[in-house]
Amino acid sequence: MKRRLVMCMLILLLVTSGLALFPGEKVYACSCLKSDAQKRLETYTTVFTGEVVKKGGSQIYRYNGVREYTFDVDSAWKGVSAKKMKIVGRGGGSDSCGIEFEKNQSYLIFASLDERDNRLHTNLCSGNVPSEQAGDDLKLLGAGKLVSKEDFGETKDGGGRTGPFYLILYGGVILLAALAVLWLWRRKKRI
């Protein structure tokens, strides 16, 4: 019995010392397949260069943190439908393929339409780069189409009344309707 316990302890000691002496290779949670800009142009729904003009707050989408960015589009190769485009970037840092865009900075963007929420999404593996580092990619893509407001007429830039505004408006209307019904009910009860 004592001999068996000593053998188990020796085996355990050898295994743990082996792990300490010969650690495995570094493991990264996010690993991206390499592809050139021409291949990404074929793969992604939307490709453009633009400056971040609005950086939204963090949200949870499908168990991940995301952030919505509004870009003022300069040049387009594919899928641009407005001068101002909204792109959802996965949060969480590079270890989980997250990406962060800085306001007032220009980027080359590759994004795909997610049919579950009908929004354009991107992440670290999409190949997005700051415009000043996109020289080789831009050469592969060729000349994009310069985008102006006139190309789309009146565009929505996300600065208008959306989301919370309508929630407050509809909540106020419902509250007023409920108060009117209560007032009528009390009035009828008095008669």
User: What pLDDT, on the 0 to 100 scale, is given for residue 61?
Assistant: 64
Question: By the 8 A CB rule, do 128 and 99 touch?
Answer: yes
**How far, CA to CA in Å, does 150 sit from each of 31, 67, 95?**
40, 28, 41
Question: By the 8 A CB rule, do 134 and 105 touch?
Answer: no
User: Other C-beta atoms within 10 Å of 19: how many?
Assistant: 10
User: What pLDDT, on the 0 to 100 scale, is given for residue 57?
Assistant: 80
**How far, CA to CA in Å, does 190 sit from each of 106, 174, 185?**
67, 25, 9
The ranges of the chain with pLDDT < 50 are: 25-28, 154-161
**How far apart, in whole angstroms, are the C-alpha atoms of residue 50 and residue 126?**
16
Summarised one tens digit per residue, pLDDT across range 6-33 is 566 667 666 665 555 555 544 446 788 8
Full-model pTM = 0.63
**How far apart, in whole angstroms, are the C-alpha atoms of residue 184 and residue 186?**
6
User: What pLDDT, on the 0 to 100 scale, is given for residue 180?
Assistant: 78
